[in-house]
Amino acid sequence: MSETAKIILVLFQLLTIASALLVTFSPNILYASISLLFAFLGVAIMFLYAGADFLAGVQVIVYIGGVTILVLFAIMLTSWMYQVKLRDSRAKLIVPLLLALFGLLPFLYQGAQHLASRVLRTVPPDFEAFAFSPKTNAVGEALLGNYLLPFEGITVLLLGALVGAVWLARPK
């Protein structure tokens, strides 16, 4: 990868982290869901750089085009945008923030970085070529080959979720 490509990837990683911070800490739920859209976009670009071009497209279509719009619809249907009652109070943030910063984040960080260092000792020789080859064909063959049973299972799950969502949202 060239230096310019790396700088672009780092910028999108920073965009992801900044948007995720807004998602968690913004008191206004509308701003939080809009910034979730940018977090999804940054994750899609990270997928693209890691050789998952098909996954990046699916991420944009399903998350940005589907889930975010669904969440925005739910917000518009359930509350007025600037209703004070639904804003989260800063005072209740202290305990979860301390627990996460000093209880969870150090362990996750140490574990992940240690794992990365161990994995990189046996790195496959052709991973740069893997990252820049098209994947749609391979994903399709894997879905209808090795992963046929999970694929069929997930179609049943989607049908169940669809029927369940319609039944839950029925009028009284």
Partner 1 sequence: MSFLDWATGLHGYLFVGTILATLGIIAVVYRRNSIGVLLGIELLLNAASINFISFSKFRTAAIDGQIFALFIIIIAAAEAAVALAIILRLYRLRETIDAGEANLMRN
Please work out the total of residues on this chain that contact partner 1, with binding judged by CB under 8 A. Answer: 89
Q: How far is the CB of 165 from partner 1 (least distance, A)?
A: 4
Which residues inside 24-43 make contact with partner 1, applying CB under 8 A?
Answer: 24, 29, 32-33, 36, 39-40, 43
Cβ partners under 8 Å of residue 40, min gap 6:
59, 60, 63, 64, 68
- What are 55-59's contacts with CB under 8 Å, separation 24+? 55/135, 55/139
Which residues inside 117-156 make contact with partner 1, applying CB under 8 A?
Answer: 117, 119-120, 122-124, 126-127, 130-131, 135, 138-139, 142-143, 147, 150, 154
Q: How far is the CB of 82 from partner 1 (least distance, A)?
A: 13
**Which one of 81, 93, 144, 148 is in contact with partner 1 (CB under 8 A)?**
93
Q: How far is the CB of 168 from partner 1 (least distance, A)?
A: 4
Q: How far is the CB of 139 from partner 1 (least distance, A)?
A: 6
Secondary structure (DSSP) of 73-111: HHHHHHS-TT-GGGSPPGGGGHHHHHHIIIIIHHHHHHH
**Which one of 31, 80, 97, 144 is in contact with partner 1 (CB under 8 A)?**
97
Q: Is 50 in the site for partner 1 (CB under 8 A)?
A: yes
Phi and psi (nearest 5°) for 51? 90, 15
Q: Rounded distance, CA 136 to CA 142, Å? A: 10
Q: Which is nearer to partner 1, 82 or 147 (CB)?
A: 147
Q: Which is nearer to partner 1, 82 or 164 (CB)?
A: 164
What are the C-alpha distances in Å from 148 to residues 53, 138, 142, 159? Answer: 21, 14, 8, 17
Residue of 14, 71, 3 lying closest to 42 (CA atoms): 14
